[in-house]
A and B are shown apart, each in its own frame.
Chain A
């Protein structure tokens, strides 16, 4: 909040104010308008700025969410549109971006880690801790088994080619830098950022 608030004026358009308003003074009874508010209730919506995560363009989107009628409660997203103020996309969205709402609401949307064990056809929900531990275990085992410190000619290479990493699309430069540093420090040479899905 800044000083602007004190410079801005506020107007009291309430029931008391209406009795001495210009409307009443001009001979228009404010009572019907005052009585009419009983047939209405206030419903709230929220608009949140975000970015489409489909591809590396990262178009700006506005997410509309509605609560259950109580002010300030967020329930579900009901509308997505391009953010006209976004300097890159200027309100436009590609067909995938325009369909974001169905992606958000999709029943088959992945919301937590799952694993399909070898030999089964079933996806099993696991915790994030389990998932990260298992991935780390696989990486470590694979790296221990396949790390190459010298090539056939005896040159030191210190690389690991049997595991690769595909990083996310809508990343910032900083995220991309950190991804590169972490992955390369393991000796991994197969690394890509997806540009689009």
Chain B
């Protein structure tokens, strides 16, 4: 309804239950990582590199043409029956992330520092089978062999490009996952990296989990544990410096029932917060929580892989 003071919504505003990633997602993440690298001094070089990596991901997404793309109607059945259309294990043999990786390495080439150059050289020389093996480790959210762990985020970045590209081709977003799969990405079946509370008018205050692989966002009720569904013993912990200032908008949603936590980024505090970028930047929160030894981290960030 229109009146002198503005517009009132005509009916119930139903927030979308699943939101596919935008074409500009990597560019936005790169910008965010760049901003964070200037704010978080102890992680400056790391975040700046990740910003370059995200920028290279955007370039690869725009310029690369993968050798394999699914038929236009390939996912109709999966969408109809509520299966993740881009399941990682179903697609990992077909999907052409190798060409994405090559494009990514070419894009990074001019920007990479001396310490990281050997990574690129090693990856270029690595046999395809070895890259496939490491890709499997990433897709299964495993830590991989220690010696090659430094290569895994770059391979993960290529996988992210490949899967985000496919997510962009879906004719419509998948349905909201059913109860027992609420914390698994409805697009590709991967784990969420963190959750975000949105601020745009269609979904103001609504919480979404974001996939660590394809960046799809899906709805989950506020104030509820994404691991065990309980809501009774949740706390929202954040980092405060001696002046009482918060380091970042990021909080850890800790659950006293299953003793796990997932980070949550209320964009009300910072409109540009991006789950994956802000997760990396708030590493200090993980480290402090690890010291407390009360909660285990459930969020999976393929750009920061830790051993067992």
Contacts and interface: CB of A to CB of B under 8 A. Distances in A.
B205 A91 contact: yes
B53 to A, nearest CB: 10
Given A20-B306, A21-B306, A72 B235 contact: yes
Nearest to A1: B228
Given A22-B305, A26-B49, A5 B227 contact: yes
A82 B222 CA distance: 11
Contacts of B83: none
Contact of B239 (A2, A22, A23, A42): A42
Interface stretch (A28-36, A100-108, A120-128, A147-155): A28-36
Interface stretch (A9-17, A110-118, A157-165, A173-181): A9-17
Nearest to A26: B150
Contacts of A83: 222
A4 B41 contact: no
Given A40-B240, A90-B12, A47 B287 contact: no
Nearest to B280: A23
Contacts of B241: 39-40
Interface in A34-52: 34-37, 39-49
B131 interface: no
Interface residues of B, number: 72
Interface string B256-299: 11101000000000000000000000011011111110101111
B23 interface: no
B152 interface: yes
Contacts of B183: 4, 8
Nearest to B293: A14
Contact of B305 (A4, A21, A43): A21
The SS class assigned to the A binding surface is mixed
B65 interface: no
A90 B119 CA distance: 49
Given A18-B287, A25-B150, A40-B241, A49 B223 contact: yes
Contacts of B239: 40-43
A37 B12 CA distance: 45
A26 B235 contact: no
Contact of B235 (A4, A44, A62, A85): A44
A8 B41 contact: no
Contact of B42 (A25, A35, A44): A35
Contacts of A9: 141, 191, 298, 300
Given A5-B227, A45-B236, A18 B306 contact: yes
Contacts of B43: 28, 32-33
Nearest to B289: A42
B297 A85 contact: no
B292 A42 contact: yes
Interface string B1-34: 0000000000011010000000000000000000
A80 to B, nearest CB: 12
A119 interface: no
A2 B222 CA distance: 19
B236 A4 contact: no
B308 interface: yes
Contacts of B191: 8-9
A4 B255 CA distance: 14
Interface string A76-100: 0000011111000011000000000
B126 interface: no
In this complex, the member of B206, B227, B292, B303 whose beta carbon has the largest number of chain A beta carbons within 10 angstroms is: B227
A84 B205 contact: yes
B149 interface: yes
B205 A81 contact: yes
Contacts of A39: 241-242
B119 A26 contact: yes
A132 interface: no
A26 B260 contact: no
A34 B115 CA distance: 20
B229 interface: yes
B287 A85 contact: no
Given A8-B191, A43-B240, A84-B222, A13 B306 contact: yes
29 contacts: A1-B230, A1-B257, A4-B228, A4-B229, A8-B298, A10-B296, A11-B296, A12-B297, A14-B286, A15-B287, A15-B290, A20-B146, A20-B149, A20-B307, A21-B305, A22-B150, A22-B305, A25-B149, A26-B49, A26-B115, A26-B119, A28-B43, A28-B45, A32-B41, A36-B41, A39-B242, A49-B223, A71-B235, A72-B233
Interface of A: 1-2, 4-5, 8-15, 17-18, 20-28, 32-37, 39-49, 62, 71-72, 81-85, 90-91
